[in-house]
Structure 1
Amino acid sequence: MGRTYYVEEDIGQYLSDLSTKFKPYVTGLLIGQCSSQRDYIIRAVRTPPKEEQKEGNTSPSKLESIDEEWINAHASQVSRMLPGGLLVLGVFIIATPELSKDSQNALRKIIFSIEKSLTKRRLWKPAEEEVSDRAALQVCSATKKIVCRTYDVQDPKSSAKPADWKYQSALSASWLSLDCTVNVNIHIPLLATSPNHDLEKNIKNGLNRWSKQIEDSIFLINGQIKDDTELLEGQKKLRGNTQYSTQISDIKVLTQLSQGSSHRSTATVQVCSGSINLKGAVKCRAYVHNNKPKVKEAVQALKRDIINTLNDRCEILFEDLIINEGPHKKNFERVYHVLPQRLFVPFAGSSVMLSDYKFGDEAAGEIQERFVEMLDQSVQDEDIHVKASVITEMLTNIIGPFFPIWNVVCLRLVSLSSLNILLHKSNYILYVFLKNDKGFCSF
């Protein structure tokens, strides 16, 4: 028996509109959430057209010309804009009858290509029992006929399996939203034997180790340790009816300070020339479906958002530095950078809010343009909600007896609320001390 996808009703009209605008075909992503019993599709977003395609709303005439790299880049950008619990759950293609015969092969290639691309960025590994099927939706632009199949992305030889595609109104209107604050204290030693101190690489290694601590941490829901199989608060039956609530649960995260006596380890002493220290607190958010969700689903979604948001901020920062300063900058001056803030934007008919990141000098218009390009969604100024509680500090200290001159790179995130600037509560600061020497290059 194949999987069943419950799909937001508005997606049907969205796909129909695309079929009349783009010829001979258009591709896109399906966004949703997996569960053991059923899967949910709450958004569909078309692949943004390239510059040469924007004016005529046309695509190349043959499916062989589909640009997988372009689609992968879109999927990577969209995945950053998804809060915990949501993921790129599949892809769709709307094609003319002449191209329908080759559509499934094209979808299969895209699905595995996207999964490979997204897996490279992740700092977490999927659980063994996790659903690994991804949807491949084929729509005929002439007849509007829909064919949905799935592929197991964990099996490169996977063949297509039939799946049900069922529309449902207000699918995510009452999903649960969960927030938490995580204290971050990451210490990353920089080995003296390293030929250079690549800041991005070292931070990535440190985040990798830290992500394993988050995976092993304990989550308190409303002050209590819940069994994985328990229902979340607000989902318990009362007088024969399930009470749904979008109330945000109070969640605390407890990380292990040190290994217990039952764990044996071998310590290695190595000479270091410096270190990177990341300290502070990060607020995160995840969403869970309202079909009797279990504690395990909520905790897993929140863990991944914790890991993803810190990793995404660092990636966006380094991308911005490469664009503005070049990948081979060696002469460091005192510079002040602003780390990207996290913001949330609602979309009609859903309790779920989508996410994005912005630098302090970015205008609201740039955010709006990005939502149109990446998510095909118009956003009003008043709909942009900036996440207001991020307190993080990163200190990089490289020691050298022959280089007494230090340069400082300070990165600070000041989170805005709708009313004021919370300077005393919302600082995200990165101090980087680097040798003034050509042999050391971080950015």
Structure 2
Amino acid sequence: MVKSVVGEETRLQFAENRLFQSNLLAQVGLVVGKLSSGLDRGFVYDLVPTAPTDDGRLPCSLPEIVGGSGRDDKRKGSKGGGGKSPAEAPAPLIIDVDWVAEHARQVARLLLGGMHVVGIYVWTSESSFKASSLVLWQTVREVAQATPFYENDPQERLLVHASYSPRRWTCRNCILASTNVSTNLRPCDFKWGKLLGSLQLFRCIYKFDQRLPIIGGPKNEAFKDVLREAISDQRKELKNCTKALIDGKLVNEDLQCILEGTHEVELLLPFMNKVSSYAFKEEEIVGLLVFTGVIHASAYLCPKETVSEAISEVKEDIINSLQSRLEIICEEAGLTDSSVSSSIESEKETSFDGVNCQSILNMLKFNCTLSFPRRVLIPWLGNVFVCDYLQPSETLEVLGSHCGEMMAMESPIDNKSVLEVEKEVASLTIRSFWDAALGRSAPLADCSGRHGADQRSGGSESKGSSSSSLIAIAVLLFAILVGWIITRTLVH
């Protein structure tokens, strides 16, 4: 359980200056940091404000203040204390909980390993904070549900309060398992320090090549469900990986990360580490999903954390990255009704979620391929990076409107500083079962809709391969006939 929290002083000071200059009565945002169960400490790297809603409303506001208006800045005092305005009556905050949770989900997608959405912060007076325990608890809970941890979730999150009346910072540990609002907000020691400069970076290139059967008939699966199953299998395989090479050396898992700089990680997967087993009838299997690619994973750790925690964070980053790419594909297809559905000739429009693999095989008569979004790294704070994902048709120009807004970056993103670390794009291919079993290479259909020319050229290739097969069969029959005649002649 987190007993003390350390915040990056440069970012907290920046947030304090920004908030006091804004003249806002209330603001809510996300706490980006790390909860270390091994150290029983929490780390706050930055505070990311939640932007206004689509219709321009603030996600956090106060009703009209009884007996006065505005902030009582005259008696805000020092950071450690101060007076309370007698004219200020307690007023509970009004928070758009769903909007804050959605912002948290989007931000969590951009964070690398070792960086998490660990709670929320709120900017309001002490009296309003005390009057808002229920809505704050609901907001923390919804944010936690929108951004679950990979494994061993501690079921606790942070609530940071920046008060302007009196002027001070406090932090509370929210116990998610508790249902008693009055006791689940536990005060914890909160101090400022220097964190970002001491973080260590662990990088890993993870290659995967997975094959899953596509089930037809009454068990026919949706396209997205097959992909989720593939990612789930990757999670199970990585869970069995407990050792890794750090900078080419096998080190003790309990060793603290005391070496500075960037470290290369090579995960040592157990031999024959295939946890999935399938048992289906022959008539149920209609195809094969080939899921291959390369993931560029990264994780940031504090110096006192152990090597085992570094390995765990790298594995978490791999799985989160795969899940984020699948979510992006689903969202894009749901909005534009394109991607896979555009390549399926159907009388009614079908979204990505409703597309099943058997319909692709039956209706297209072609193998189908789909490229996953590729990860790029973007400078964030000092030497710390965040990531974003680009579709095959997108360019670096879209990063400013998405990553810049989600992370509330102060300066525009310089495309020259963006690292395009993934040259080999992760992709999946849907193949006919017998094409895969017999090693036949059927023509590919582009699931993004750019498949007309490929289909036409594929048709001629298919005809050519059919002619070659007929010639081979004829030669084989002729050879058998000649052999039979020679045998008969020698016998007589």
TM-score range, shorter chain: 0.7 to 0.9
Matching residue of 1:428:
none
> 1:301 offset after TM fit, Å?
0.6
Find the aligned partners of 1:154 and 1:397 in 2 and give their Cα distance: 45
Provide the secondary structure at the position in 1 that maps to 2:132: helix
Find the aligned partners of 1:227 and 1:392 in 2 and give their Cα distance: 32
Matching residue of 1:384:
418
Give the number of the structure with larger relative contact order, counting CA–CA contacts within 8 Å between residues 6 or more apart: 1
Find the aligned partners of 1:280 and 1:100 in 2 and give their Cα distance: 48
96-105 vs 32-41, which moves further: 96-105
Change (3 A) 1:99 1:328: farther
Which of 355, 358, 363 is the aligned partner of 2:390? 358
Find the aligned partners of 2:93 and 2:60 in 1 and give their Cα distance: 15
TM-score for both structures, normalised by structure 1: 0.77
Matching residue of 2:169:
146
Provide the secondary structure at the position in 2 that maps to 1:137: strand
Matching residue of 2:160:
137
Is 2:252 the partner of 1:227? yes
For the pair shown, the structure with the greater C-alpha radius of gyration is: 2
Q: Is the 8 A contact 1:104 1:136 kept in 2?
A: no
Q: Is the 8 A contact 2:214 2:288 kept in 1?
A: yes
Q: What RMSD in Å do the two structures reach over aligned CA positions?
A: 3.3
Provide the secondary structure at the position in 1 that maps to 2:167: coil
> 1:276 offset after TM fit, Å?
0.9
Unaligned runs of 5+ in 1: 236-243, 413-432, 434-443
Q: Is the 8 A contact 1:32 1:86 kept in 2?
A: yes
> 1:34 offset after TM fit, Å?
2.1
Is 2:274 the partner of 1:252? no
Which of 98, 105, 109 is the aligned partner of 1:69? 98
Task: Kindly provide the amino acid, as one letter, of the partner of residue 279 in structure 2.
Answer: T
Matching residue of 1:315:
327
Change (3 A) 1:202 1:2: closer
TM-score for both structures, normalised by structure 2: 0.70
Matching residue of 2:54:
51
Counterpart mapping for 1:39-188 below 5 A: 39-53=42-56, 59=61, 61=63, 63=92, 65-96=94-125, 99-119=128-148, 124-126=150-152, 131-157=154-180, 159-169=184-194, 171-188=195-212
Find the aligned partners of 1:367 and 1:18 in 2 and give their Cα distance: 26
Which of 277, 288, 294 is the aligned partner of 2:306? 294
Provide the secondary structure at the position in 1 that maps to 2:198: coil
> 1:267 offset after TM fit, Å?
6.4
Matching residue of 2:298:
285
Task: Kindly provide the amino acid, as one letter, of the partner of residue 151 in structure 1.
Answer: C
Provide the secondary structure at the position in 2 that maps to 1:255: coil
More helix by share: 2
Q: Deviations over 1:378-403 (max 9, x none)?
A: 322333222234453421124599xx
Q: Is the 8 A contact 1:103 1:138 kept in 2?
A: no
Matching residue of 2:380:
347
Q: Is the 8 A contact 2:371 2:428 kept in 1?
A: no
56-65 vs 251-260, which moves further: 56-65
Provide the secondary structure at the position in 1 that maps to 2:48: strand
Find the aligned partners of 1:382 and 1:307 in 2 and give their Cα distance: 28
Matching residue of 1:394:
428
| Matched-pair identity in % | 20
Change (3 A) 1:15 1:190: farther
Which of 392, 400, 404 is the aligned partner of 1:372? 404
Number of residue pairs matched?
386
Change (3 A) 1:212 1:385: same
> 1:166 offset after TM fit, Å?
1.1
Change (3 A) 1:184 1:346: same
Q: Is the 8 A contact 2:209 2:291 kept in 1?
A: yes
Find the aligned partners of 2:45 and 2:235 in 1 and give their Cα distance: 28
Q: Is the 8 A contact 2:200 2:301 kept in 1?
A: yes
Q: Is the 8 A contact 2:119 2:158 kept in 1?
A: yes
Find the aligned partners of 2:324 and 2:97 in 1 and give their Cα distance: 22
More strand by share: 1
Q: Deviations over 1:278-299 (max 9, x none)?
A: 1232221111112x22111101
